[in-house]
Amino acid sequence: MVLKIPYYSNRVTETLTDYAAYRGKLSCKVYTMRFNFTSQFNNEYMIDYVIRNVMNNFKTGSRISASIQYDLLLVDPTSNPSSYYIWRANTNLHTFDYDNELNIYLSYNNLFRFIHEASHIDIPTLSLNFRSSNVTIERVLAVVFTFASV
């Protein structure tokens, strides 16, 4: 039922926020785009959408921080009946994880290379986040891109 609300069923949701102070930076713009893996998902559409909107919202040649995370549907198969949980990329973790954040100089080519493989998901690597629990990844709900001015 929860997965039918627009947040999870729309093709894409996005937020663009200007912060006076953000993670030790003054006057920072943060742009987040969430592409839900619904029947409407199309990798080419996602790539075009991200490039067009990031290039329109940040200055070409500027340095930006970029992050790719995923919304996940988790299941605990040991409970009876099975329990399900939603792991939301930007609420369960900091928006940027310093170990997974990438700083890039904004150009079409750099942005294309960054986002090109986002829909090729390494489930075993994502599963490492849950190795000390009973939950497993049932499915990936969305890919979440976050960009911030540096």
Render pLDDT for 35-91 as a digit per residue (tens, 0 to 9).
Answer: 999 988 999 999 999 999 999 999 999 999 998 999 999 999 888 898 999 988 865
Predicted local distance difference test score (pLDDT) of residue 23: 66
Percentage of the chain beyond pLDDT 70 is 89
For 17, 41, 80, 99, the CA distances from 35, given in Å and listed in that order, are 18, 8, 32, 23
Q: What is the pLDDT of residues 26-45, one digit of tens each?
A: 788 999 999 999 988 999 99
Separation in Å, CA 44 to CA 56, 102, 150? 18, 22, 28
Residue 92 scores a pLDDT above 60: no
Q: Is 73 within 8 Å of 1 (Cβ atoms)?
A: no
Secondary structure, 3-state, the chain: CHHHCHHHHCCEEEEEEEEEEECCEEEEEEEEEEEECCCCCCHHHHHHHHHHHHHHHCCCCCEEEEEEEEEEEEEECCCCCCEEEEECHHHHCCCCCCCCCEEEECCHHHHHHHHHCCCCCCHHHHHHHHCCCCCEEEEEEEEEEEEEEC
Which positions ≥6 away from 1 have C-beta within 8 Å?
Answer: none
What pLDDT, on the 0 to 100 scale, is given for residue 95?
44
